[in-house]
Chain A
């Protein structure tokens, strides 16, 4: 009896939370399918019209896809993928070092790692811009990708996970003559599916949300990223609400895809692991 009451409570809680989390996103996406003058018409009162559009249209999407938005989507996807690929490798290596070895200055170096994500970005943007200029990287993909590859938070994440792997496994492998690189590559990484997935999601979302740095570091329209393209729909005198919502919705939907893919794969991996 108690078990089923608990199950019902659990289901109720799930539905309630899902509603609170999903409704705003639904409103955003649904508004993109409305003609521009309908978006706010029904907002002040509450009724069926608030949640279900009276008139549906694709004109907002036509508008943004006819312009430079697709290029911005491509740019962001490219930058995100490159950052994630390089970042998983580079940061997991560092996390491995912190978790597995004892070496001089380990504590101090770890504090440097922590510090690197605790400084407000606005305070380092000017020296960073000057540095990127000196490297002649302004207006290149390199400026968008490379500064974001090494991340203190991701190193910290990998280190937390790797620290939980029993040392005995490594000792056995060392006895068998394995090099540390082989241990890292062939033993530790394969065990880290969920962590790699979460690290990838974090880096992806961080680059997908990037706005101020791309604005400062790149100028040409060919390198515009998705958040900048969305923000351009707001000018002082008018806001193109239709295009704003359409581009924002597209960005949300596109970003959701890697999430769902990664989410299902890591659950499967972990479920397999836990049953071992």
Chain B
């Protein structure tokens, strides 16, 4: 019996369809909703495009929120406890806060801890589990204006780790260079009020910023080490007058340094690029973070992680996102787009050529020996906001011990709600 042509066509069409079906099913797209930081287009889009290239079945709907309101907008979204967003940007010290409130998914199965810097893993952990994925960290270095040092006849700091300056040396140099009446200053912090920047002052003297369980500030932040450290900070504004008070906009302090109005700036690695791009004629050098002579060097660290919404309905796509975003290649790409201090060991190795400058050598050394992440506590927002106001108010004077004690009490009261 010969098959009629029609039957042949029909049956081959059917089998072709049958063969095609699994492909069609697999190619159905998932879209992941991602809330990201409002970094410039040219730093975010290539990253996301690279992920989509590797994962054609997953589309990324990326929302870039401005830094000024990203946390608040995230709070509104997360508070609604929906499956939206699938993935979101996490400021590393907020990991504990989001995790305690049930907004982050455990990532232990997806992250190989040995690939990362230890301080990054500790910042990503809460209650013994990993809740956020490290995506970049930070380090502070001391920028100094060679021309101003020369004009005042002061020997500038050295770029070698071994020649690290003490705070006393910074104060002394600042005094000799600063002329406040002429709007010329000796030293400024990049972030004059943030605990991120200022906790190392007390930590350098052996202070511990918060109880290890993360729930008690009294007895820790108001202890003698921080009283001494912050009193020194206060002196920079009140007695010695080598720092310009009231500079709370972190985007303005580099302008101050770049336009030659301040001899020393303790700030992050991005300032290097800002200075080279905007102030080409500035003759500046980079030195390690200062420490107290009778204590030990401590540097601040921590920056951006990302986390997964436990209520997300696209678990597989999300797992793929985590895996790919933490891959060596994509991390190297991210570093090239926006040079945060790498958390992935592989990036240090692969980009070794870039890291041969003064600044990067300092950064690498600090990451290995002096970097200390901020205290881990579910109440970090409360801790930071209360301490920030206190640090701000200290600039104008006032009894440092009393101010810290009052802040500690307020912190304890607010953090208490996370205990239950």
Q: Which residues of A contact B (CB under 8 A)?
A: 36-37, 39-41, 44-45, 67-68, 125-126, 129-130, 133, 138, 211-212, 215-216, 219-221, 228, 231-232, 234-241
CB distance B67 to A235 under 8 Å? yes
User: How far, in whole Å, are A44 and B181 apart by their CA atoms in the complex?
Assistant: 12
Residue of A44, A67, A238 ringed by the most chain B CB atoms within 10 A: A238
User: How far, in whole Å, are A41 and B255 apart by their CA atoms in the complex?
Assistant: 8
User: How far, in whole Å, are A215 and B252 apart by their CA atoms in the complex?
Assistant: 25
The 0/1 profile, CB within 8 Å of A marked 1, for residues 69-81 of chain B is 1001100110110
Question: Using Cβ atoms and an 8 Å threshold, which residues of chain A touch B258?
Answer: 37
Q: How far is the CB of A37 from chain B (nearest CB, A)?
A: 4
List 10 extra interface pairs beyond A37-B278, A215-B65, CB under 8 A: A44-B259, A126-B80, A133-B82, A220-B61, A232-B64, A234-B67, A237-B270, A237-B271, A238-B251, A238-B270
Could you say which of A40, A129, A231 contacts B69, with CB atoms under 8 Å apart?
A231
CB distance A212 to B67 under 8 Å? no
CB distance A220 to B63 under 8 Å? yes
User: How far, in whole Å, are A239 and B40 apart by their CA atoms in the complex?
Assistant: 11
Question: Using Cβ atoms and an 8 Å threshold, which residues of chain B touch A235?
Answer: 37-40, 67
Q: How far is the CB of A177 from chain B (nearest CB, A)?
A: 53
CB distance A237 to B268 under 8 Å? yes
CB distance A40 to B66 under 8 Å? no
Question: Using Cβ atoms and an 8 Å threshold, which residues of chain B touch A231?
Answer: 38, 66, 68-69
CB distance B76 to A126 under 8 Å? yes
What is the interface residue range for chain B against chain A?
35 or more
Q: How many A-B residue pairs have CB under 8 A?
A: 79
Main secondary structure of the interface of B (DSSP, over half): mixed
Nearest chain-A residue to B191 (Cβ)?
A: A236
CB distance A40 to B259 under 8 Å? yes
User: How far, in whole Å, are A40 and B67 apart by their CA atoms in the complex?
Assistant: 22
CB distance B73 to A212 under 8 Å? yes
If A37-B278, A231-B68 touch, does A68 touch B41 (CB 8 Å cutoff)?
A: yes
Q: How far is the CB of B24 from chain A (nearest CB, A)?
A: 27
CB distance A40 to B77 under 8 Å? no
Could you say which of A40, A219, A232, A238 contacts B61, with CB atoms under 8 Å apart?
A219
Question: Using Cβ atoms and an 8 Å threshold, which residues of chain A touch B248?
Answer: none
B279 at the interface (CB under 8 A from A): yes
Q: How far is the CB of B117 from chain A (nearest CB, A)?
A: 19
Q: How far is the CB of A2 from chain B (nearest CB, A)?
A: 48
User: How far, in whole Å, are A272 and B278 apart by their CA atoms in the complex?
Assistant: 56
B289 at the interface (CB under 8 A from A): no
CB distance B67 to A216 under 8 Å? no
Question: Using Cβ atoms and an 8 Å threshold, which residues of chain B touch A44?
Answer: 183, 259, 261
The 0/1 profile, CB within 8 Å of A marked 1, for residues 373-404 of chain B is 00000000000000000000000000000000
Nearest chain-A residue to B255 (Cβ)?
A: A40
Residue of A36, A219, A239, A240 ringed by the most chain B CB atoms within 10 A: A219
Question: Using Cβ atoms and an 8 Å threshold, which residues of chain B touch A211?
Answer: 69
Question: Using Cβ atoms and an 8 Å threshold, which residues of chain B touch A37?
Answer: 258, 278-279
B158 at the interface (CB under 8 A from A): no
Nearest chain-A residue to B278 (Cβ)?
A: A37
Residue of B33, B73, B274 ringed by the most chain A CB atoms within 10 A: B73
Could you say which of B61, B64, B80 contacts A130, with CB atoms under 8 Å apart?
B80
User: How far, in whole Å, are A231 and B66 apart by their CA atoms in the complex?
Assistant: 6
If A126-B79, A126-B80, A216-B73 touch, does A236 touch B250 (CB 8 Å cutoff)?
A: yes
